[in-house]
Amino acid sequence: MKYRDEYRTPDAARGYADTIARITTRPWTLMEVCGGQTHAIVRFGIDQLLPETISLIHGPGCPVCVTPIAYIDKALEIAGLPGVILCTFGDMLRVPGTHSDLSAARARGADIRVVYSPLEALTVARENPGDEVVFFAVGFETTAPANAMAVYQAERAGLENFSVLVSQVLVPPAIRALLDRPGNQVQGFLAAGHVCTITGYEAYEPIAREHGVPIVVTGFEPLDILEGVYRCVRQLEKGESCVENQYSRAVRRPGNAMAQHVMQAVFQMVPRQWRGMGDIPASGLGVSLAYRSFDAEARFGTVNGEAETQGECLSGAVLRGEIRPDQCPAFGTRCTPERPLGVTMVSEEGACAAYYRYRRPAGG
């Protein structure tokens, strides 16, 4: 706990806030690209500690939230087949598909099992040789190496009843897509430290250069985030735009070579639809040709992209940073974690869940 407490000192936090206020000469809008950072910002009131001139907006940093509806529908379709066991992380169970979710499908009798790692899904496959075991592999670059390793090990073990339904997404193309959106307000980014422990941050350098935005690789503790904001504002005030690494205790510029190696062997870059953000070229990972026999889409049919339905939920706008959760009319009243209307309230890492947990509206 001591180690963590070092990054939560109130005096140091106020010191950062004062310094940021002192160097700020005009309003700036920054986006954090990680649901964990969003939770820390709201939980510790970091946005309220900052001067009013600094606006923090929350980006598409929740991997569960950005998983497109078409993949939930495909997972439901596969789970409904006889002789199939679908393995998934628990936070995917209540994510809404077009007509249902995995939790409801399980209640109706589908064999859907919650696992805590993809390797656990491999064990399920070994223990159930008569069934097809499908692991629903979602997430950013942080989960991709372990998911790739499961496929690699399945191949080495000759497990023929194991496959992965892959909806892995990549952060840098999403940052570019946000910057290219008409009316973009974001002037600087706090990049997700744990993603960069895997990938490093070379991929962010051309984005900072070409779009003229500072990008600061940032950790998750309050002082990490405040230092990330400070470094971003310092660059903006000087008219600079480069990548800085605030999270140097965990991140190196080239990242983790072993993790990248297994990812690159098992996966390949593909276009991907993001919930709330539409199609983004080369923004996802799919199973590479060498491992195609472990691709659930090769076994059970490809995912058909479907138009997103809007309805009352404004999660798309929340994921694009266009509104804060508490600006949604349903927040905390018609939409709560117990009765969620959308994925950003369902997911533990979702921005709406963070606001509900730490900043309820009066009477909410």
Q: How far is the CB of 351 from ligand SF4 (least distance, A)?
A: 8
- Least separation in angstroms between residue 50's CB and ligand SF4 is 23
**Shortest Cβ 320–ligand SF4 spacing (Å):** 11
8-state DSSP, 202 = G
Q: Which residue lies nearer to ligand SF4 by CB, 59 or 325? A: 325
Going by C-beta distance under 8 Å and a sequence separation of 6 or more, which residues neighbour residue 95?
Answer: 64, 67, 72, 101, 102, 343, 346, 347
Tokens 């990242």 correspond to 255
Amino acid at the residue 129? P
Q: Which is nearer to ligand SF4, 238 or 357 (CB)?
A: 357
Question: CB of residue 43 vs ligand SF4: minimum separation in angstroms?
Answer: 17
Kindly tell me which of 197 and 315 has the beta carbon lying closer to ligand SF4.
315
* Least Å from the CB of residue 346 to ligand SF4: 7
The helix/strand/coil state of 277 is coil
Q: Residue count at the site for ligand SF4 (CB under 6 A)?
A: 16
Q: List the interface residues with ligand SF4, window 258-297 (CB under 6 A).
A: none
- Nearest CA to 150 out of 127, 128, 117 is that of 117
- List the one residue out of 261, 23, 290 whose CA is nearest residue 145: 261
Q: Give the nearer residue to ligand SF4 in terms of CB position, either 102 or 226.
A: 102
- Residues 301-340: x where in contact with ligand SF4 by CB under 6 A, - otherwise, as a string: -----------xxxx--x------x--x-xx---x----x
Residue with Cβ nearer ligand SF4 (180 or 312): 312
Q: If DSSP codes are grouped into helix, strand and coil, which group holds residue 164?
A: strand
Which lies closer to ligand SF4 via its Cβ, residue 238 or residue 360?
360
Q: In whole angstroms, what is the distance from residue 57 CA to residue 28 CA?
A: 11
Rounded Cα distance between 310 and 211, Å, is: 30
Contact call for residue 344 and ligand SF4 (CB under 6 A): yes
Residue with Cβ nearer ligand SF4 (262 or 319)? 319
Among 85, 215, 352, 354, binds ligand SF4 (CB under 6 A): 352
Closest CA to 219 of 192, 201, 184, 239: 192
Work out whether 345 is an interface residue with ligand SF4 (CB under 6 A): yes
Exactly one of 342, 349, 354, 359 binds ligand SF4 (CB under 6 A); which one?
A: 342
Rg (CA), the chain: 21
Question: Measured from the CB of residue 309, what is the shortest distance to ligand SF4 in angstroms?
Answer: 12
Q: How far is 94 from 314, CA to CA, in rounded Å? A: 17
C-alpha span between 298 and 28 (Å, rounded):
47
- Stated as kind and residue range, the H or E segment containing 280 is strand 278-287
- Determine what percent of the chain falls in helix, strand and coil, rounding each to the nearest 5: 45, 20, 35
DSSP state of 331: B
Residue listed under structure tokens 């070092």: 6
| Nearest distance, CB of residue 350 and ligand SF4, angstroms | 7
Among 64, 78, 217, 341, binds ligand SF4 (CB under 6 A): 341
CA distance 258 to 260: 5
Q: How far is the CB of 341 from ligand SF4 (least distance, A)?
A: 4
CB of 323 to ligand SF4, least distance (A): 8
Q: Which CB atom, from 96 or from 255, has the smaller least distance to ligand SF4?
A: 96
Nearest to ligand SF4 of 262, 314 (CB atom): 314
Strand partners, 295: 164
Which residues contribute to the site for ligand SF4 (CB under 6 A)? 312-315, 318, 325, 328, 330-331, 335, 340-342, 344-345, 352
